Structure formats: structure tokens, C-alpha cells
Structure 1
Amino acid sequence: MTQKSHAMSLFEWALLLTLAFVWGGSFFFAAVAVVEIPPVTVVWVRVTGAAVILFLALRIMGQSMRWEREVWAAFFFMGLVNNAIPFSLIFWAQTELASGVASILNAMTPVFTVIAAHFLTADERITAPRLLGVVLGFVGVFVLIGTPVGGSLLAHLAVLGAAVSYAFASIFGKRFARLGVKPMVTATGQVSASAILLLPVILVLEQPWTLAMPSPATIWSMIGLVTVSTAFAYFLYFRILSTAGATNVALVTLLVPVFAIALGILVLGESLNARQVLGLFIIVAGLIAIDGRALRWVKR
């Protein structure tokens, strides 16, 4: 059953801002980690560590994992499109891009979700405000990217590919409610499936046992990525979803780039040029149009 949205309390706003901060922090942690550790290995450590923590959380919460074949088939597909593919693309892209730029491009996820839902679902058609949001989103991307060449262009496209993957995941994810799978079980199952899928990839392609011992900064970044930006983030997400509803929790998309950019500037010494800032504002305007609340407020 889909939760209805309501006017959020100050506590729920605090939770939403915390979620935006910890998800924005994932771009920061990854930017530090991929300097010394190959990107897919970073992803595997992230999902494996989160799977262990979430399994323990399920035990503490008294919830049971679902083991039916149909459910695990769904976990593996969800793990592929919601974790393995997008995490790998984003972390690889961050070997070329600043964390703030990657977070802005990743904010295109709702735009791609609107497009995918129009063609793949019967009840989520593109309305005029959403179409405006889609157009603004693509204009913002065009302004932000400019005319990069070589690896930089591929890195930009990789993050956009991750956003497309997330869009398909958001549509497929509705299946778990029909299967009667609880949200925390879904979170645990998908990261576990991701870890299984990525293990042969890192063993063959990246061979992490051949790497030098990472620095303390990288180790702490990996710990933060696993515990704060993945496991804890899932707790926050489903806590907000349960009381504030899906519409309100979707506001996090607008806030994540703000925190990712701030961390990149304050801690990593990154910067955004004028073109990238303009692209950010155009994309945010598109997301506001897709969300629809601002338009309804103006009409009232």
C-alpha cells in the first residue's frame, strides 16, 4: 500500500535533511576511495558491508528474510539495476568528475523515471508540468556538460546511465509490495544480491588482493560509505517513507546535490564553474516542475 503524503513535522524534515546529507556524503566518500581502490571493488565493499549490517538489523527488528525463488529473482534484478550498475557507473565516473558534478547529473533520475513510467506503466502518464520538467532537465544537462571530449564525456554519460538504471529500478521496485515483501527485507535482499553479482567481476577484472594497503583516509571513507551512506541511509529512507509518504521522501532528490557539492567544496577543494551552476539550477527547476507541489501552491 502506498503511503499518502502529508505536511511534514519538524522531526521529519530533520530526518529528510539527514538523509540528503548521508546520501550526498556517498559522493564525497567515493571520491576519496576511488583514488586508491578500483571503482567496482568500492561498490562490492559497499554492498557487502551493508548486507551484513542489514541482516543483523533484520534480526534485531524481528523480521525474517524471504527465501522464495520468485522473491530472490526479483532481488537479483533489483540489485543489478538499483545497486550494481548505477554504483559502478557513478564510482567509475568519479575518477574523472568532481563529486558535485556527479551528484547533479545523478539528480536526473526523476526525469528518466517520468519517461520510463510513461511507457512502462498504465497509470503514470506524462502530464504538462512533468513534460516541462523533462525538457528543463535535459536543457540543464546540456548546459552543465557543455562540450567535453574523451574520458570526461564518457564519465558524464556514465552518470546519466546510472540515473537511467535507477529509473527502471524505481518502477520495478513496486513489485515487492505486490509480493508482500517488507521494505527493510527488500533493502537487505537487493544489496546481498548485488554483492553476489559483483564478486566474480572484481575477482576477474580488478583482483583487489593485489592492491597496496589503502591509506587511513580511504579506509575511513569506505567505512562511512558502508555504514552511513548505505545501511543507515536505508533506515532513514524507510523511516521517512513510513510516516511522511513517497511524495515527501522524493524531495531528497532536490537536496542531495546541495550536500554533495558543499562537501566537495569544503573538504575536497572542488569547485563548480558558472556553466555547471546554471545547469544545476535548470535541473532543479525541472525537478520542481515534476514534483508539482510548487505549481499547486501557486494556483491556490
Structure 2
Amino acid sequence: MTQTSLSTRAWAEMGLLALIWGASFLSIKLGLEELPFLTLVVHRVLWACVILWGYVLLRRQSVPRDLRIWRAFLVMGLLNNAIPFALMAWGQQFIETGLTSIFNAGTAIFGVLVAAIFFADERLTLRKIAGVSVAFFGVTVAIGLDSLRQFDIRSLAQLAVLGGTLSYALASAWARKRLMGLSPAVAAAGMLTGAVVILLPVALIVDGAPAWPALPRTYLAVGYFAVFGTAIAYLLYYRVLAMVGTGNAMLVTLLIPPVAIVLGALVLEERLAPQAFAGFGLLALGLLILDGRLLRWLQGKPGPVTGPQKLP
């Protein structure tokens, strides 16, 4: 398997993952119409956590007993779920579904910078610097000059979503240092458990006891992003990662925004400004430069062989 030649099955599973995650942005937006954002996030992590532990037990996978691993799960739940899910859900109250997904695609930018800070083998090369610069410029274009000149709640919402992507990047570094060697299902279930422990008391204090939603579509939205957008998506993501490698898996982040943009337009009649599409184009270009794909295409060279990955 090369980074420039993926099987039909790999593309199909990447496409399916992009559809699932792209639709998650819409389901969160729908859920926010009735539920406070913290309560919404608790629903997401709690039910996904129950499902994944059920999967772990069904597959008879060993549950960690080392207290150090559970402490690592707690930090992972904070960085990979509690902080980014809460920031993005809050931000999505004030910005469009598609725009949220565009900013989410910038996770890889912070991932490169965080990795360069914490890992000696991830130093910044000229190619990475160029890719990060182009991608950051794309994010700036997507935010728009008006948001930079006139700071308001919409500007703050956009920064909150970007803060969530930074937290994702920190979580990736933490997983590499503390959670290597665990099965993907156990790692995902463990970090979601940590997220529930953190978020549940906060949501009860801030939002009070959760009320039953009145709209049937709110139940459907919660069920979708908890079951499909979180539990099943994590399992599918690790499967795709093992199949195509980390470089190719980054393509999923570029497939998600078109799905979210189309669904936001069809269901919520959202319309993005032209600058958002221009920003996404530059962001996509930066990500392709980052993993070396664009340079290989220009040189007509195949990418390095990527086999199954040892996953956290």
C-alpha cells in the first residue's frame, strides 16, 4: 500500500468515515437547538463510552488494571474529548456547521507543531514549515478580515473551535507518550470514561439536571452523534488508520468539510461566504504539502510503503 495508491476498499471506508463525521456536525447543531452545549457533550461521551465498553467486553479484550493507565485515560479524555467537544459545541452555536468542519480540518496544523515541540523525531522541516504556513493562511482567510477587525461573539466562537483543534493535537502527543500498545477499542473507551468523569459533574453544576427534549429530532441527533459519530466512528477510524497509515488517513479531514457544508445547506439552509471556501482550499493545499503528497505528485513519485500501524 502506497500513499499515492489506495485500494477501492480503503477509499470506500475513508469516504464512509467522512460521511459519518461530516453528518456529526449537523447532528450537533440540531441537538443544540434544545440542549445546553455541556449537557449535549455529556450525552455524546456517556453513551459512546457505554457502547465501546460493551464492545470491549464482547470481544473479551483485557481491561487495564494499572492506575497509571487510568490516569492517562483521564488526561486523554480531557484533551481529546472534554475540551475540544465542549469548545466546538459552544462555538457551533454561533457559526455555521460547514465553517466549524473547515476549522476542524486544521487539527493537523497544530499536530505538526505540537509534535515538533515534544518529539525529537518530528522536527520541523522546510516542507512542514511551508505546509503549516499555507494552512494557517487558509484558516485566516476562512475567519475573514471582518472577524479580525471587529471582535464579537462570532469571532470568539471561531477561536473556540480552533482551540478545540489545538487540544486534539495535544491529545495526539499524549497518546503517543502514554497509551501506545493498547487496543484501539480499550483506548477509546478509556478516554471516553475519563471525559465522562470530568464533564458530568461540570454539566450538572452549570446546566442543572438534564430535562427530556421535546423534539423527536433531538433524540435522533443525540443518538446519531453518540452512536455513529463517536463510538462507531472511533472504531472505523482506527481500522482505516491501520489500513492506510497516518499520512493517507489525514485525507479524511479534507473529505469531511464538503459533507458538512452540503448537509448544512440542505437541512439548515446555511450559506458560507466565498472566503470560507477560499480558506478551505488553502488549508487543503497546506495539508497536502505537509505530508509530502503534493511534492510527490509533482515529481511523479510513489509514496513510501505504509503497513499496519501500532495504534494507541
Common fold: TM-score over 0.5: yes
Between the aligned partners of 2:172 and 2:259, the Cα distance in structure 1 is: 23
Cα offset, 1:5, TM superposition: 6.0
Query: Which residue of 1 is the match for residue 21 of structure 2?
Result: 23
CA shift for structure 1 position 110: 0.5
Deviation at 1:213, TM superposition (A): 2.9
Which residue matches 1:203? 204
1:160 equivalent among 159, 162, 175: 162
Name the structure 2 match of 1:235.
235
Q: Go from structure 1 to structure 2 and tell me whether the alpha carbon gap of 1:252 and 1:55 turns closer, same or farther (over 3 Å shift).
A: same
Q: Distance in 2 between matches of 1:65 and 1:205?
A: 32
**Shift, 1:175, TM fit:** 2.8
Q: Deviations over 1:229-277 (max 9, x none)?
A: 0111012111112222222222111111111111111222111111111
Indicate if the aligned counterparts of 1:6 and 1:245 stay in contact, CA closer than 8 A: no
Alpha-carbon distance in structure 1 between the residues aligned to 2:249 and 2:140: 27
Aligned to 1:254: 254
Residue 96 of structure 1 aligns to a residue whose secondary structure is coil
* Structure 1, gaps ≥5 residues long: none
How do 1:119-158 and structure 2 match up within 5 A?
A: 119-146=117-144, 147-148=146-147, 149-158=151-160
Matched, 1:34 2:32: yes
SS in structure 2 of the partner of residue 53 of structure 1: helix
Q: Which residue of 1 aligns with 2:304?
A: none
CA distance in 2, matches of 1:150, 1:298: 42
Task: Describe the superposition over 1:79-114 as per-residue Cα deviations: whole angstroms up to 9, x where unpaired.
Answer: 000000000000000110111001111111101111
CA distance, structure 2, for counterparts of residue 153 and residue 226 of structure 1: 28
Measured in 1, the distance between the counterparts of 2:273 and 2:4 equals 37
The aligned length equals 296
Distance in 1 between residues matched to 2:104 and 2:259, nearest whole Å: 13
Q: What residue in structure 1 maps to residue 114 of structure 2?
A: 116
Q: Provide the residue aligned with 2:172 in structure 1.
A: 170
The superposition leaves residues 59-85 of structure 1 with CA deviations (integer Å, 9 ceiling, x where unpaired) of: 222212212111001100010000000
Q: Does the 8 Å contact 1:37/1:214 carry over to 2? A: no
Distance 1:230 1:285, change over 3 A: same
What is the TM-score when the length of structure 1 is the normalising length? 0.94
Partner SS for 1:48: helix
Contact 2:18 2:255 in 1 (8 A): yes
* Unmatched segments (≥5 aa) in structure 2: 301-312
Q: Which residue of 2 aligns with 1:213?
A: 213
Distance 1:15 1:268 in 2: 27
Following superposition, the deviation at residue 284 of structure 1 comes to 1.0
Paired residue type of 2:264: G
Aligned to 2:187: 186
Aligned residue for 1:173, secondary structure, equals helix
Q: TM-score, normalised by structure 2?
A: 0.91
Q: How much is the aligned-residue C-alpha RMSD, in angstroms?
A: 1.6
Whole-Å separation in 1 of the counterparts to 2:111 and 2:161:
15
Q: Secondary structure at the match of 2:268?
A: coil
